């Protein structure tokens, strides 16, 4: 099979957006489909969605979360929260212009997703201006469009469960619909969606979990007691369908849902082949999310950064051999250590 033009010379693909991307399975579905069609392409995926983001939020973090990853293609799915919050149309347009300009000036290919609809018809009316802005800015910067909005309406009319109970977040068929729209936007209209979520390469998946403790804002590994092996299969069997993919990707999850009153500590070990600097990649819930290595605190999340692997990266020094890793969270943590990347800048 020949690659569509938009995928030629593409290796690294970044999916960016709000809660409809953050933690969603549609990027997994898209990438698994691409891998099956083009097994020699060695595609790499990064999810850079953050719950609650508007285009203004994305604009602020574009350099750190998107451009710094040196993508070849960026899938932009934003606008739902802008419409929900009734942001001024001029502000939304200015943000989108800035985002798309920054991408195309670096010769990064762009696919703009027209977001899925609201279940509330009254709010849907407010969405139309945002959709038009997305079409116009995509056209101005020669970006391709993936019309998830139209596909969701079509599937909804056919009785598919594309939206969840709140009328905004996706239902059981919503992840598939998003993937279908993106693949269509990439020029792969007749290719079936491969709906699989795989374990993220390099994540630490063997954990122990402590007894829960009060979520009081003051955390120290010394208060962790009652260590027991983290049972991923048992967690998945007790999960709601929308939470299962987090565990499938390799998250440590001390609670099946975000716990507003308690946290737990997780403990794991990493065997470094050499002493030196490694890249720690982390994702999950930020309230709290702290990492200690061999008793020293090396990371504390200060803001939401994504319910997916590789949401943030930081350099850490590790000794050769085994290191003890301890984390604390009220929901989930993705964590892995990697050799520092060396990749040529985009031309």
C-alpha to C-alpha distance for 52 and 23, rounded to whole angstroms? 12
Weakest mean pLDDT among 4-13, 106-115, 228-237: 228-237
How many CB atoms within 10 Å of residue 316?
15
Both tokens of 80, joined, read 């739902």
> Can you give the residue ranges of every domain in the chain?
5-185, 208-338
The CA distance from 115 to 123, in Å, is 13
What average pLDDT score do residues 271-293 get? 95
CA distances, 20 to each of 173, 282, 311 (Å): 13, 20, 15
CATH 3.40.50.1110 matches 5-185 = yes
CA distance linking residue 257 with residue 230, whole number of Å:
16
Residues paired with 328 in a beta bridge: 265, 290
How do residues 18-67 score in pLDDT, each as one tens digit? Answer: 999 998 999 999 999 999 999 999 999 999 999 999 999 999 999 999 99
CATH numeric code, 208-338: 2.60.120
pLDDT tens for each residue of 107-143: 999 999 999 888 777 777 778 999 999 999 999 999 9
| Percent of the chain topping pLDDT 90 | 82
pLDDT confidence of 347, banded at 50, 70, 90? very low
Cα 12 to Cα 19, 75, 179, 233, 306, distances in angstroms: 21, 11, 17, 31, 19
Angle between helices 55-65 and 89-104 (to 10 degrees): 20
Angle of helix 174-185 versus helix 26-37 axis, rounded to 10: 50
Q: For the whole prediction, is pTM greater than 0.85?
A: yes
């Amino acid at each position: 099979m020949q690659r569509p033009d938009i995928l030629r010379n593409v290796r690294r693909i970044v999916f960016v957006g709000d809660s409809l991307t953050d933690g969603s399975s549609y990027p997994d579905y898209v990438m698994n489909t691409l891998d099956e069609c083009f097994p020699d392409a060695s595609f790499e995926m990064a999810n850079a969605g953050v719950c609650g983001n508007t285009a203004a939020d994305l604009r602020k973090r574009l350099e750190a979360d998107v451009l710094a990853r040196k993508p070849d293609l960026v899938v932009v799915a934003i606008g739902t929260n802008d419409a929900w919050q009734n942001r001024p149309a001029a502000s939304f347009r200015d943000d989108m212009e800035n985002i798309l300009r920054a991408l195309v000036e670096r010769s990064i290919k762009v696919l703009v997703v027209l977001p899925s609809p609201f279940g509330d018809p009254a709010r849907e009316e407010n969405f139309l201006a945002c959709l038009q802005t997305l079409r116009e800015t995509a056209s101005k910067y020669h970006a391709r469009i993936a019309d998830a909005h139209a596909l969701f309406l079509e599937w909804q009319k056919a009785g598919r469960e594309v939206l969840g109970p709140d009328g905004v977040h996706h239902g059981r068929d919503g992840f598939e619909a998003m993937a279908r729209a993106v693949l269509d936007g990439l020029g792969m209209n007749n290719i079936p969606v491969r709906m699989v979520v795989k374990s993220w390469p390099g994540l630490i998946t063997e954990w122990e979990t402590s007894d829960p403790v009060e979520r009081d804002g003051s955390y120290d590994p010394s208060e962790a007691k009652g260590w027991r092996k983290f049972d991923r299969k048992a967690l998945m069997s007790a999960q709601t369908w929308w939470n299962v993919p987090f565990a499938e990707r390799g998250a440590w999850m001390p609670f099946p849902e975000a716990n507003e009153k308690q946290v737990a500590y997780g403990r794991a070990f990493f065997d470094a082949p050499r002493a030196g600097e490694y890249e720690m990649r982390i994702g999950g819930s930020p309230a709290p999310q702290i990492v200690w290595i061999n008793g020293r605190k090396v990371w504390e999340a200060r803001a939401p950064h994504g319910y997916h692997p590789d949401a943030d990266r930081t350099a850490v020094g590790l000794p050769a051999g085994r290191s003890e890793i301890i984390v604390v969270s009220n929901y989930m943590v993705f964590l892995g250590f990697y050799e520092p990347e060396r990749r040529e800048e985009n031309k």
